[in-house]
Amino acid sequence: MVINELEKPKISSDLSILDLSIGDIAVRTEPLNIKTLITEAFLRFMKDEKLNLIPITERDCNTVVGQIQRNRFLEHTVLGRFGYGIHLNARKCICEVMESPSFLVEYKTTIEDASMIIQKREMKYLYDDIIICKDGEYYGIVPINILLETITQKSLIIAKDSNPLTGLPGNWAIQREIERKIREKQFFDVSYLDINNFKPYNDYYGFEKGDYVISSLGDILKKMNKRFPEIFIGHIGGDDFIMITQPDLSILLCENIVKEFEELLPLFHDEDFLRGYYISKNRKEEEEKFGLLSITCAIVSTEKRNITSFAHLASIASEVKAEAKRLSKIKGKSVIFKDRRYG
Over residues 24-50, the pLDDT tens digits come to: 999 989 999 999 998 888 889 989 989
Three-class DSSP category at 305:
coil
pLDDT, one tens digit per residue, over 170-200 is 998 899 899 989 988 999 999 999 999 999 9
Q: What are phi and psi of 96, to 5 degrees?
A: -85, -15
Instruction: For 105-149, write each residue's pLDDT tens digit.
Output: 999 998 888 888 888 788 888 888 999 999 999 999 999 999 989
Architecture of domain 163-338: 2-Layer Sandwich (3.30)
Beta bridge partners of 131: 104, 141
Average pLDDT over all residues of the chain: 88
Each residue's pLDDT tens digit, 77-96? 777 665 556 766 777 889 88
pLDDT at 85: 63
CA–CA separation, 192 vs 186, rounded Å? 19
Mean pLDDT of 264-293: 92
Closest CA to 329 of 273, 299, 300, 290: 290
> pLDDT tens digit string along 208-226?
999 999 999 999 999 999 9
pTM, two decimal places? 0.65
Question: Which region, left, alpha or beta, applies to residue 270 given φ > 0 means left and ψ of -120 to 50 means alpha?
Answer: left
3 state SS of 35: coil
Q: Where are the domains of the chain?
A: 14-151, 163-338
Contact 55, 131 (CB under 8 A): yes
CA distance 102 to 129: 9
CA distance 326 to 336: 12
- Percentage of the chain surpassing pLDDT 90? 61
Q: How far is CA 194 from CA 207, 230, 266, 289, 322, in A?
A: 17, 22, 19, 20, 12
pLDDT attached to residue 142 = 94
Kindly report, residue by residue over 321-335, the tens digit of the pLDDT: 999 999 999 999 999
Kindly state the average pLDDT of the residues 276-296: 91
CATH number belonging to the domain at 14-151, selected among 3.10.580.10, 3.40.1190.20, 1.10.357.10, 1.10.3720.10: 3.10.580.10
The Cα–Cα gap between 323 and 337 comes to 8
Distance between CA 174 and CA 21 in Å, rounded?
A: 18
> What letter would DSSP give residue 94?
G
